[in-house]
Structure 1
Amino acid sequence: MSAPYSTRMTAGSTIGRRRAAERAEQKYGVPVPVLMATVRKESGFKSNARPPRTKLLGFIPWKRVSSATGFSQALDGTWAQYQSETGGWAARRTSFADAVDFVGWYHSRTADTLGVARNDTYNLYLAYYLGWTAYKRGERGDAGVQRYARATEQMARDYAAQLRQCAP
């Protein structure tokens, strides 16, 4: 059976991505399905994903709404914090292995500082999307953000079921 991550990836990249996710799981204790669902929701597994540009005068492409980039859609400041804390100065947001490690680090920090279980996809995603400060204040976003979190939670369940059917 093919791996659950994306139908657009080649077999070699699927295996490499699975191994990278498994390394992040071992390092941070966040299950592979949670990591993969977060990356899928954030970037659709596109290495060069960026937020859309705003429009000047309604039609001229202008600035982007945030500095989010790559598989994890990590913001500049959060990525710099990750690099500083992990020593991963050469890490790139466009590298799947680096990005999934970042997601594991972020979810692990969320678990440690906010008390969210490492397998609670819904709340891990809310904290990922909103940021630690907003989540800690009790903000849970609007209905759209909650819908994203529920969809991410369902993706993680689907990935977990698919992984159980795959050979290790």
Structure 2
Amino acid sequence: MRCSFLILILGSLLMTGCSSQPSNINNVCTIFDENSDWYDAAKDVQKKWGVPLHVTMAFIHQESKFVSDAKPPRSTFLWIFPGPRPSSAYGYAQVLDETWDHYLSKTRNYGADRDDFEDAVDFIGWYNYTSHKRLGISKWNAKQLYLAYHEGHGGYERKTYLKKKWLLKVSNKVQRKASQYLKQYKSCKADLERGWFF
């Protein structure tokens, strides 16, 4: 009985630790200091897909604010009752069901989950690599990569984003966040590589 209780408590703590939001999502050094596995995952994406670490992290910041099980807010019925969600977007990278299935099929990473950070950043790396190959967007251009991420490759080719002023503002925001993260990362990279920070 006592052993079962301890296992339950430990399990709850582990689950909480895996999905808890970083204490300061606007500082990439703090994020990686608190989550060394995330740092390793982001570096792996950079090595595997060629997408810079700061770009990947800026996408996660915009899409979910580093909340593992993030979903779009529900609509309301009669201003009170919860209605359906506007899309099937889920997880750190806010990936739609059909897009996630396409990723699984193309990468054969069938055990991947959208609420797993390592899998989510790999998806972002794969998608942005695909945008680079298909659309010719630089892997460092967070703004244009985000427009392709949001609109899909076909939508980007049709320039559907030009009719969405709000999306252009968001893409500029992602670019600024990527630049901020890059500057921060340069200041703490050596410490992170040594395995400690402050």
Q: TM-score, normalised by structure 1?
A: 0.92
Unaligned runs of 5+ in 1: none
| Cα RMSD after superposing both structures | 1.8
Determine whether 1:115 maps to 2:127: no
Unaligned runs of 5+ in 2: 1-23, 194-198
Shift of 1:32: 0.3
Relative contact order higher in (CA < 8 Å, ≥ 6 apart): 1
Moved over 2 A (4+): 2-7, 9-12
In 2, Cα distance between equivalents of 1:45 and 1:165: 22
User: Residue 166 of structure 2 aligns with which residue?
Assistant: 144
Determine whether 1:58 maps to 2:79: yes
The answer to which structure has the higher helix fraction is 2
Using the aligned pairs only, state the percent identity.
36
Rg (Cα) greater in structure: 2
User: Residue 77 of structure 1 aligns with which residue?
Assistant: 98
Q: State the one-letter code of the partner of 1:129.
A: H
In 2, Cα distance between equivalents of 1:11 and 1:122: 26
Q: For structure 1, which segment, 85-94 or 132-141, has the greater mean C-alpha deviation from structure 2 after superposition?
A: 132-141
In 1, Cα distance between equivalents of 2:33 and 2:116: 17
Aligned length: 165
In 2, Cα distance between equivalents of 1:118 and 1:79: 21
Shift of 1:58: 2.6
Q: State the one-letter code of the partner of 1:96.
A: F
In 2, Cα distance between equivalents of 1:6 and 1:63: 37
In 2, Cα distance between equivalents of 1:77 and 1:31: 26
In 2, Cα distance between equivalents of 1:18 and 1:31: 12
Q: TM-score, normalised by structure 2?
A: 0.79
Q: Secondary structure at the match of 2:155?
A: helix
User: Residue 48 of structure 1 aligns with which residue?
Assistant: 69
* TM-aligned CA distance change 1:132 to 1:18, over 3 Å: same
